[in-house]
Amino acid sequence: MHCKDSMKTVAYALLAGLIGFGNSGIGYAQEDHEKLAEQHLKKAIESGRKGNAKEVAHHTEEARKQLIEQNKEHPYAHPIVPIYGEKQKAEHDEATFEEMAKAISAAKQGNAEEAGEAARRAYIHLKQKEQSK
């Protein structure tokens, strides 16, 4: 009996370790997606300053893809009846996607300056989301 109990304990410890290891990987993946999105938004902002609408669209779309992947791994729940300020991460997340859509739209119309400004606002919302509750 004693041997059987210790084997169960070892098995449970291994299982707990694997679960903990798996969860830590999700956190790193989420951070990687955010960092990549930030980098692409910075490049989009710079491209807007340089007047390159095509690059603004490209980098903003890449940032959007990274944030979609992050949201698949860690979705933010939206309340049924939205109360402003209750779900700060979700609000900034939504605002980030809205600004990215504006940046992509403006870039496709050839307005690099306006697109870069929308990418800048998206970047600000992304940073605020990271700092929110």
For 69-84, what is the mean pLDDT?
Answer: 63
pLDDT score of 115? 97
Give the span between the Cα atoms of 91 and 98, in whole angstroms: 11
With vertex at residue 92, the alpha carbon angle to CA 122 and CA 26, rounded to the nearest 5 degrees, is 95
- Three-state SS at 23: helix
Residue 82 — pLDDT band, cuts 50, 70, 90?
low
Give the span between the Cα atoms of 41 and 64, in whole angstroms: 9
Domains in the chain: boundaries: 29-131
For 23-47, what is the mean pLDDT?
Answer: 78
Q: Is the pLDDT assigned to residue 11 strictly greater than 60?
A: no
Residue 4 — pLDDT band, cuts 50, 70, 90?
low
For 27-47, what is the mean pLDDT?
Answer: 85
Q: Which CATH superfamily, name and number, covers 29-131?
A: IL-4 antagonist (De novo design) like domain (1.20.120.660)
pLDDT digits (tens, 9 = 90+) for 13-31: 554 554 444 444 444 455 7
Give the span between the Cα atoms of 5 and 40, in whole angstroms: 53
Kindly report which listed range (74-83, 90-99, 120-129) carries the lowest average pLDDT score. 74-83
Q: Is the pLDDT assigned to residue 7 strictly greater than 50?
A: yes
For 111-121, what is the mean pLDDT?
Answer: 97
User: Cβ(85)–Cβ(98) under 8 Å?
Assistant: no
Task: Please choose, from the candidates 64, 57, 58, 56, the residue with its C-alpha nearest in 3D space to the C-alpha of residue 38.
Answer: 64
User: Cβ(40)–Cβ(60) under 8 Å?
Assistant: yes
